[in-house]
Amino acid sequence: MKLSLKQPSVLPGFGLTLGYTMVYLSLIVLLPLAALVLKTAQMTWSDFWSAATNPRVVDSYELTFIAALIGSLVNVFFGFAVAWSLVRYSFPLKRVFDAMVDLPFALPTAVSGIALTAIYSGKGWIGRFIPPSFPGAHPLLGGFAYTPIGVTIALAFIGLPFIVRTLQPAIADLDAETEEAAATLGADRWQIFRKIIVPTLLPSILTGFSLAFARALGEYGSVIFIAGTQPKTAITTLVIVQKLDQYDYAGAIAIATVMLVASFSMLFVINLLQWWSARRYRGLT
Amino acid sequence: MATIATYPAEASGGAIRRATTSEPRWVRVLVICVSISFLTLFIFLPLVAVFVEAILPKGLGGYFETFRDPTAMAAIKLTLLTAAIAVPLNLVFGLAASWCLAKFNFAGKSVLLALIDLPIAVSPVISGLIYVLLFGLHGWLGPWLKAHDIDVIFAVPGIVLATVFVTFPYVARELIPLMQEQGIDEEQAAVSLGANGWQVFWNVTLPNVKWALLHGVILCNARAMGEFGAVSVVSGHIRGRTTTIPLYVEILYNEYNYVAAFSMASLLSLLALVTLVLKTIVERKTRATHSPPAEGGAVPSPQSPAPNHEHHRPKHHEAFR
């Protein structure tokens, strides 16, 4: 069927490679994902709803959502500064700093997790200077381990590359002529920044933010060490793992389905943003 | 292009342009200082912390002591084995997928492209969970596997499968945009000169994409060796049998054996550093080989930033001209 819907080509190997792609994709990705969907479909609605909206689980949604949101917003601010410096300015060791941006992506999450704890816990490198009385610090131990701020730090750490790597090409592609035209018309640098640069970069800023946010929603390894296992700082992925450890499969499946829907919605938003930004650029011509 | 080439104000251009399209000196210094401090304190310090916490408390002797433990060796071996299976599988898949998706036009192509990127949007924990639901004792195939005495979950096959899932699109998403950009002219020429499919692939297509391929393999390998969440769900944490390096780091850490935990973590950090260096070198090679950046291409996705963004920057400047 597929073959008849294909444009003719002199190149060989279409059937073989498409067949292999479909079989491998089905076995590794589609079949296991279908298992989750079918398992969810087998639950009654009331079972699903009570498992997915149990107060502890709702608390975890709230914590994950807010920490991911704040972490990604922090990243928009610092990520913008980093991307701007890397594209427009020159400074010593620039290439090293540029490569450093990918570190949170290259570093395995478990390693980031224990390293961040070693830095921000009450006895840690930076955490030891944060007394228990500090706002948001742990009330007994000081530092940010086992607090919502600790969770936010971990989510901000893993999100940085997404924002910087989305903004860098967009900043490099900014049209200098527009900025020059504005300057000749008497706009000062701050006006140009607010009225030309930020609006032009907005789709990229939103895309980078959404990517970091989506990644943060599903993050596990880099958070659990700094968050600990108490209910107060349990992110949603940790709740899923705890349910599995207690053999509460129905609970784990329900929460996983909610998370999967959230991730796919984010993916949809990201694609919409990409489409929007592509259309905007075309609109300029 | 001229305006763009002269863009970084320091590079060239007159004093007037510098004054009008760059920030005042104090702003520039401030932004650079904020960026450098943020990268150093927030991003680089954790990497330093891993090595200091591994070596400082007990010295180099204590550091190397960690690796004499047979459990540590078993973890290293399992990690290498997992990557040795997952990377080639996804490499072959990446080549097959990029050939049919980049060189042909057919109905349903964009759906297939979206499906290939799917694993990147799935949380690592859920990536593990779906295999538990398929192969676990309460899963679809669990009873059958038990009757035939095959262990998948809480055993090595489950770890390998979960790793294959999370690294699934890494090679494909590097190759597809590049091969789309390169088109099929060279391949068509080769076919018209009498080359068969394999000859076209080995002698024409593969040399054209070798750097992107290497880039994908490097990223795929880094993720395969470092994956934690997905593997953690399917592993069962059986010491010395189903513990990869990241899982062993967790076990040691939870036993308050911090020196050993950070020593094992330092291996993964070295891997991350090597990955970054190789990635930077390969990206420079790619830029040299395929200088004009491509239109469109893969959307960067959660779980991995824009793959080699040099390929994918939208080229709207060219559209002006």
Which value does ipTM take for this structure?
0.91
Structural domain total, chain A: 2
Measured between beta carbons, the chain A residues lying within 8 angstroms of B21 are: 176, 179-180, 183, 192
pLDDT digits (tens, 9 = 90+) for A201-230: 999 999 999 999 999 999 999 999 999 888
Please check whether residues A50 and A31 belong to one and the same domain. Answer: no
Q: B6-61 pLDDT, tens per residue?
A: 444 444 444 555 555 678 889 999 999 999 999 999 999 999 999 999 999 999 99
User: A31 and A49 in one domain?
Assistant: no
Domain-ending residue, one of B28, B56, B84 = B56
Read off the tokens for B226. 């470092």
Kindly state whether residues B25 and B108 are assigned to the same domain: no
Q: How far apart, in Å, are the Cα atoms of B171 and each of A29, A256, B219?
A: 15, 27, 8
- Do residue B85 and residue B126 come from a single domain? yes
- Positive or negative, the CA dihedral A227, B134, B302, A55 is negative
Joined together, the tokens standing for residue A223 give 């958070």
Phi, psi dihedrals of residue B106, rounded to the nearest 5°: -150, 165
Q: Which residues make beta-bridge pairs with B304? A: B301
My answer on whether B42 and B149 are in the same domain is no
Chains A, B: CB contacts within 8 A come to: 359
- B249 in the same domain as B101: yes
For residues A102-131, average pLDDT: 95
Q: Which residues of A touch B160 (CB under 8 A)?
A: none
CA separation for the pair A19, B260 (Å, rounded): 47
**Domain endpoint, select from B39, B56, B73:** B56
B78 and B195 belong to one structural domain = yes
CA–CA separation, B105 and B112 (whole Å): 12
Percentage of chain A beyond pLDDT 90 is: 75
Same domain, A38 and A62: no
Check whether residue A159 and residue A71 sit in a common domain.
Answer: yes
Per DSSP, the three-state class of B56 is: coil
Do B13 and B68 share a domain, yes or no? no
Q: How many domains does chain B have?
A: 2
If asked whether residues B9 and B114 sit together in one domain, one would say no
Q: Are the Cβ atoms of B126 and A10 closer than 8 angstroms?
A: no
Residue identified by tokens 């491998």 is A24
Instruction: Indicate the angle between helix axes A109-120 and A148-172, nearest 10 degrees.
Output: 120
Nearest-by-Cβ selection for A278 from B23, B168, B314: B314
A107 and A174: one domain?
A: yes
What is the SS3 string spanning A155-223? Answer: HHHHHHHHHHHHHHHHHHCCCHHHHHHHHHCCCCHHHHHHHHHHHHHHHHHHHHHHHHHHHHHCCCHHH
Question: Which amino acid appears at position A12 of this protein?
Answer: P
For residues B63 and B3, state if they share a domain: no
B18 shares its domain with B30: yes
Same domain, yes or no, for A109 and A15?
A: no
Q: Is the same domain home to A180 and A138?
A: yes
Chain B nearest CA to A73, separation (Å): 15
Residues with Cβ within 8 Å of residue A171, at least 6 apart in sequence? A83, A84, A87, A88, A201
CATH number at residue A276: 1.10.3720.10
The per-residue pLDDT for range A31-66, each reduced to its tens digit, is 999 999 999 999 999 999 999 999 999 999 999 999
Backbone φ and ψ for B227, nearest 5 degrees, come out as: -60, 135
Strand partners, A143: A121
- Interval A95-119 mean pLDDT: 95
Contact B212, B174 (CB under 8 A): yes
High-pLDDT (> 70) share of chain B, %: 83
Q: What is the pLDDT of residue A65?
A: 96
Any idea of the CA torsion for A128, A132, A136, A138, to the nearest 10 degrees? 80
Q: Same structural domain for residues A55 and A179?
A: yes
Per mean pLDDT, which range of A192-206, B1-15, B248-262 is the poorest? Answer: B1-15
With beta carbons less than 8 A apart as the criterion, state whether A88 and B22 touch. Answer: yes
Name the band, by pLDDT with cuts 50, 70 and 90, for residue B5. Answer: very low
As beta bridge partners, residue B301 has B304
A-contacting residues in B 218-257 (Cβ below 8 Å): 222, 225-229, 232-233, 246-247, 249-250, 253
Q: Are B100 and A17 inside 8 Å of each other by CB?
A: yes
The reply to whether A207 and A229 lie within a common domain is yes
Task: Say which residues have a Cβ less than 8 Å from residue A261's Cβ, sequence separation at least 6.
Answer: none
Among A9, A11, A116, which would you mutate to test the B interface (most chain B Cβ atoms within 10 Å of its Cβ)?
A: A11
Cβ–Cβ of A221/B229 closer than 8 Å? yes
Domain ranges, residue A32: 1-42
Write out the two tokens for B71.
């459990």
Same domain, A2 and A108: no
Radius of gyration of chain A (CA): 23
Given B19, B34, B56, which residue is the final one in a domain? B56
Confidence at residue A149, expressed as pLDDT on a 0 to 100 scale? 95
Contacts with A160 from chain B: Cβ below 8 Å: 42-43
Using the predicted structure, report yes or no on whether residue A122 has a pLDDT greater than 60.
yes
**pLDDT class for A9, splitting at 50, 70, 90?**
confident
Output the domain CATH number for residue B172.
Answer: 1.10.3720.10
A82 and A10 fall within a common domain = no
Which B residues 91-130 touch A at CB under 8 Å?
93, 95-97, 99-101, 103-108, 112, 115-116, 118-119, 121-126, 129-130
Q: Which tens digits make up the pLDDT trace of A241-272?
A: 999 999 999 999 999 999 999 999 988 888 88
**B188 and B246 both lie in a single domain:** yes
Chain-wide mean pLDDT for chain B?
85
- Token pair, residue B269, equals 């950090």
Q: Are residues A55 and A17 in the same domain?
A: no
> Residue B104 is part of which domain span?
58-320
Output Rg (C-alpha) for chain B, integer angstroms: 24
Q: How far apart are CA A189 and CA A278, in angstroms?
A: 27
Contact B233, A95 (CB under 8 A): no
Taking the C-alpha atoms of residue B192 and residue A36, their distance in angstroms, rounded to an integer, is 48
pTM above 0.90? Answer: no
